[in-house]
Structure formats: C-alpha cells, structure tokens
Amino acid sequence: MDEVDLDELVSSLTPREENRTIKTYQNTVAVACPACEEPFDDLVVCKENPTSLNLSQQLDFCVGTEDGQALIFTHKK
C-alpha cells in the first residue's frame, strides 16, 4: 500500500459518525481501497490507541496508517 493522503481521501467520502475514539466515513462514490484497489464501503479512522471496535456484521477489511492513526477500509461480504 502506498502512503495514504487522508485529507485527499476523505474529501471524496461522506462523514457518518465521530466520537472520542473513532471517525467514520461512507464511500458513496466507489473510491478504490488503497490496499486492494477494490471499492470499499466505509473508512474507520482510529483516533486513540488502543481502540476497540464492535462489529455488527461480518466484514473483510484492509488496514493502513497515516500519521500514527489506524485506517480501516471495510468491505461488506
């Protein structure tokens, strides 16, 4: 995976949720995942270390980092 430019990436995504530990964005325009090059569904930016995620559905995901933050690209099955 090449270096992710988070500002450029999120400029194409729709903000969904933000709290103390995470920020989520929905990919409504089929932006390609920087890791696998397939369109992803959501981007989760982990703002704290460690961060716990409670997943309500089974997902495939790709992971990257930018400025020490984990970036999780979800792919619904």
CA 42 to chain centre: 6
Rg of the chain, C-alpha, whole Å: 12
Beta bridge partners of 25: 15, 43
CA 57 – CA 76 distance, rounded (Å): 8
Evaluate whether 45 touches 24 at the Cβ level (below 8 Å). yes
d(CA 63, CA 70): 7
**pLDDT tens over the chain, length 77 residues:** 567 788 999 999 999 999 898 899 999 999 999 989 999 999 999 988 888 877 777 788 888 888 888 898 988 86
Residue of 73, 76, 55 whose CA lies nearest to 63: 73
